[in-house]
Amino acid sequence: MDLNIRLQILKDADQISLENYDAIIKVIEIFERELNIKLTEENGAMFITHLAIAFERIKKGEMVEDINDTIYEEIKNSSRFTSSEKFLELLEKELNIEIPESEKTFIMMHLCVLFESENIQFNNTCKY
């Protein structure tokens, strides 16, 4: 399944709004523009799905429980933590969204895994 199809299904099932659908499409474009990485079902499905649902929670003012401290310590020890953190800051700026800390930790977990699997180092020397 293509990521666009995945997002279309989420939108058609009213799991995400049109606004958040458009935001996730923009995230996919930012990955291509800034990192020269094409997100696919294989490398980005979990991240994109999580992000889409997280954006819906943020829009509705719903909070997610904080991530387990032990898991978060593992994330912070990732060699891709700093790159992921900087990239998340870029996403917040480009999408004009403030992501609550409780959501950021889960998003960072997905970014670290994705950045590790794609061997991404992001140093914030982007074009914005």
CB 7 within 8 A of CB 26: no
Domain contains 122: no
Domain extent, residue 49, equals 3-117
pLDDT tens digit string along 5-44?
Answer: 999 999 999 999 999 999 999 999 999 999 999 999 999 9
Give the CATH number of the domain where residue 26 resides.
Answer: 1.10.1790
Residue 125 lies in a domain: no
Instruction: Please check whether residue 124 lies inside any domain of the structure.
Output: no
Percent of the chain with pLDDT over 70: 95
**Residue 123 resides in a domain:** no
Tell me the C-alpha distance between 3 and 7, whole Å: 6
Q: How far is CA 69 from CA 3, 40, 73, in A?
A: 31, 30, 6
Query: What pLDDT is attached to residue 128?
Result: 36
Phi (first) and psi of residue 21, to 5 degrees: -55, -50
Confidence band (pLDDT; 50, 70, 90) for 1? Answer: low
| 128 part of a folded domain | no
Domain count, the chain: 1
C-alpha to C-alpha distance for 66 and 42, rounded to whole angstroms: 27
Query: CB under 8 Å to 6, separation ≥6 — which residues?
Result: 41, 45, 48, 49
Looking at the chain, how many residues does it have? 128
State whether the Cα torsion 106-27-96-54 is positive or negative: negative
Q: What is the pTM of this model?
A: 0.89
